[in-house]
Structure 1
């Protein structure tokens, strides 16, 4: 119980990242075709128009890794109070979100970019909490 008290904020934020990235990754896996088609339209007038499947695959891999590493971070904090995986999960989450933000800005989807910033703020805060 002391570990949970000591790392409550970190654990909650790691769970937030795990849910966010694993759900998003699973959505991409289960509806790959629908996601590719929608994104082709979204990026039709950008430099990404011919690269949508490759870029979506890269984001999928990063989201799944960030989500899994965040789950490992929860386990590692609870079992040994080691925050290495937690930090790596948060850092990978930030990189993933920045890539998504860049894509939304390129597509001139400013509302979408604003939504990503809502996810980026707690993720950056988690990196801050986990810095030693």
Structure 2
């Protein structure tokens, strides 16, 4: 119980990351055709247009990995008072968001890119707290 109260901020950030990234990865897997179809249109006219299935696959794998690392981070904090796996989850979440930001900027979806800012702030705060 002491690890819970001593690391409540870290745990809440990890739960946020878990919900955000695992849900997104699972959604991509369940609705592959819908996601790739929408993104093909989104990236039409850019140099990324022919790489949409590959990009979605890479993001899907990384998002699920971030979610799994978040779960492991929660377990490690509660069980071992160790934030190392939580830190890796936050770092990988930041890298993923930077990849998504790059895509949004290339597609000239500036509103979409802006919405990633809030997610990035939470994740970079996690990196800062857990290092």
1:45 partner SS: coil
| 4+ long deviations beyond 2 Å | none
Q: What is the aligned partner in structure 2 of residue 74 from structure 1?
A: 74
Q: What is the aligned partner in structure 2 of residue 28 from structure 1?
A: 28
Is 2:11 aligned against 1:7? no
- Which runs of 5 or more residues in structure 2 are unaligned? none
Distance 2:28 2:59 in 1: 9
TM-score between both structures, scaled by the size of structure 1: 0.98
Shift of 1:5: 1.3
1:37 partner SS: helix
1:124 partner SS: helix
Count, aligned residues: 131
Q: What is the aligned partner in structure 1 of residue 98 from structure 2?
A: 98
Shift of 1:100: 0.3
1:50 partner SS: helix
2:49 partner SS: coil
Is 2:69 aligned against 1:42? no
Distance 2:17 2:40 in 1: 27
1:123 partner SS: helix
- Which runs of 5 or more residues in structure 1 are unaligned? none
- 1:42-101 CA-to-partner distances (Å, cap 9, x unmatched) read 000111000000011000011000111011000000000011110000000000000001
CA RMSD of aligned residues (A): 0.5
Q: What is the aligned partner in structure 1 of residue 125 from structure 2?
A: 125
Q: What is the aligned partner in structure 2 of residue 55 from structure 1?
A: 55
Distance 2:81 2:2 in 1: 11
